Amino acid sequence: MEIIIKGASEEFAEKLVALAAQHHAELTISTVHPGWSVDRAERYLRDLTAGARRMAEMVIVDGDDGYLNADHLRHRIGKLNGPANALARAVDRGVRKGWWPEDTPAPITPVSNPDNPSWHENIAYRMDQEIVPIFREALTRITAGKRAAEAMGFTPGGTGKTYSHVLIDTPEGVNLLDIDGGSLPDDDQDEEDEEDEEGQQP
**8 backbone φψ class: left, alpha, beta (φ>0; ψ -120 to 50):** beta
- How confident is the model at residue 12, as a pLDDT? 65
Q: Is the pLDDT of residue 193 over 90?
A: no
Across residues 116-124, what is the average pLDDT? 78
CA angle 42–43–44, rounded 5-degree value: 90
What whole-number distance in Å separates Cα of residue 169 and Cα of residue 148?
Answer: 11
Percent of the chain past pLDDT 90, that is, above it, reads: 45
Q: Which distant-in-sequence residues (6+ apart) come within 8 Å of 10 by Cβ?
A: 31
Q: Which amino acid is at 24?
A: H
Tens-place pLDDT, residues 52-93: 999 999 999 999 999 999 999 999 999 999 999 999 999 999
93, burial (CB in 10 Å: exposed 0-12, middle 13-18, buried 19+): middle
Residue 28: helix, strand or coil by DSSP?
Answer: strand
Euclidean distance between CA atoms 176 and 184, whole angstroms: 17
- Across residues 31-47, what is the average pLDDT? 87
Strand extents, DSSP E, 103-164? 109-112, 122-126
Amino acid 148: pLDDT = 81
pTM: 0.67
pLDDT attached to residue 147: 83
Say yes or no to pLDDT of 104 above 70: yes
pLDDT grade, residue 190 (50/70/90)? Answer: very low
In this predicted model, what pLDDT tens digit does every residue of 87-101 receive, in sequence order?
999 999 999 998 998
pLDDT in tens, 135-167: 999 999 998 888 887 788 776 544 334 333 444
Is residue 164 within 8 Å of 156, Cβ to Cβ? yes
* pLDDT tops 80 at residue 19: no
